[in-house]
Amino acid sequence: MKIIVGLGNPGVHYQRSRHNVGFRAVDQLSEDQRIPVSLRRFKAHYGMGRIHSQDVVLLKPLTYMNLSGEAVRKVAHAFSAEKEDLIVIHDDLDLALGRLRVKQKGGDGGHQGVRSIIEAMGGNSFLRLKVGIGRPPKGVEPADYVLSSFDEDEEPEIRSALCRAAEAVEVILSEGVDAAMNRFQKKPPPLLAGR
């Protein structure tokens, strides 16, 4: 069983914020794979299904970002999953807008949600799929920046990134981590006008 965790904050107010790209990536995967994330338990919304013959849980914690580990630990325990069975999708300030990075292990990089999962699961040996949101403009605090919405001209690029993130999860499950790294960590092609 693989648990695919999208990190974000619950509520309409945060729905389109930069910090919620993990939620949006899980929504994209849910749509692509026809796995509804409609169940509510474990302080989370979740759904169960199969992707490339792999049993999966799609998970969106409802605990707010800095307590994400609570929900992740409950779901992992319920499905007898280990931290190595997690794929955590989250925003990254240090990646350019729309860039993806697949990373095994490592620290929290200052990300409160990742830190909470490391603490709750007792280690960092889980896979992360980072979605770049870029650095804040000069004079804007990172805490304010991550809770702000994407600009209108950034939305097409982030939507493209979310589609690629969902595809990257599929590749991780079907072909392995190395294949996903090779395919999705390159700079994405420029978007065509009108897309």
Q: How far apart are the first and last CA of the chain?
A: 36
Torsion angle in degrees (nearest 10) through CA of 146, 138, 128, 176: 120
Q: Which amino acid is at 133?
A: I
Instruction: Return d(Cα 171, Cα 29) in angstroms, integer.
Output: 12
Instruction: Return d(Cα 167, Cα 146) in angstroms, integer.
Output: 24
Rg (CA), the chain: 15
Answer for the pair 72, 59: CB distance below 8 angstroms, yes or no: yes
Residues known to be catalytic: 19
> How many beta carbons lie within 10 A of that of residue 168, not counting itself?
27
What ranges in the chain are assigned the alpha helix state H? Answer: 21-33, 68-78, 112-121, 142-146, 155-175, 177-184
Answer for the pair 1, 80: CB distance below 8 angstroms, yes or no: yes
Instruction: Return d(Cα 111, Cα 96) in angstroms, integer.
Output: 16
